[in-house]
Chains A and B, each alone.
Chain A
Amino acid sequence: DTAVSQTPKYLVTQMGNDKSIKCEQNLGHDTMYWYKQDSKKFLKIMFSYNNKELIINETVPNRFSPKSPDKAHLNLHINSLELGDSAVYFCASEGAKQETQYFGPGTRLLVL
């Protein structure tokens, strides 16, 4: 069984569109994250949620809005997509001991 899953795996869209990426974890973890990995392969944290509550919100444009319907899900909605949003977006979850994060397979977003 997949521990952390993301959908879709690939997303190609045009500038100005609104899109959502979904993430689900079946590990029973309380904390979930969204990361952006750019073309230089640098992983940058975007958001962190603990038990459905936002605990980290890095300097991210407000076009990005995370939504956590329950602690097993953390979705990412992006409004008015821009070319610079093209990247790989990773979801991750972490247990209470904060020992390791489990990453999803990534969503490859290409904005044309």
Chain B
Amino acid sequence: KNQVEQSPQSLIILEGKNCTLQCNYTVSPFSNLRWYKQDTGRGPVSLTIMTFSENTKSNGRYTATLDADTKQSSLHITASQLSDSASYICVVRFFYGGATNKLIFGTGTLLAVQP
């Protein structure tokens, strides 16, 4: 069964600290993996997207890694800020039925950054 699981479900950290969010997937065959940030009351916004051949991709203080062999991805946030408080969603695209592809959304990690 194609699944995307994220951990932890929620996380509280102090401002200035680093944190790492995890995403494990069982999706196959894999096309790409994306991390989105969703602020409260807003739509998700893309942070990074990685294909099979990419191991690391950065976007400012956000760094995503991908291990296609173990089907794991992580999102590392450096020097957290209050504005990082949001839900972070891992989304995997995979192929099915030839060239047709589909998206599977993870359940998200809710991050709270406290002063």
Stretch of B12-20, B41-49, B61-69, B72-80 at the chain-chain interface? B41-49
Across chains A and B, the number of contacting residue pairs, with CB separation under 8 Å, is: 43
B32 to chain A: which residues have CB within 8 Å?
98-99
A contacts, CB < 8 Å to B: 4, 40-45, 55-56, 90, 92, 98-106
Whether A41 touches B108, Cβ cut-off 8 Å, given contacts A99-B49, A100-B34, A100-B49, is: yes
Give the contact-size bracket for chain B.
20 to 34
Main secondary structure of the interface of B (DSSP, over half): strand
The secondary-structure label for the interface of chain A is: strand
Q: Tell me, in angstroms, the Cα distance from A101 to B100 when the chains sit together.
A: 17
B11 → A minimal CB distance (Å): 14
Residues of chain A lying within 8 A (CB to CB) of residue B101: 98
Q: Are B105 and A56 in contact (CB under 8 A)?
A: no
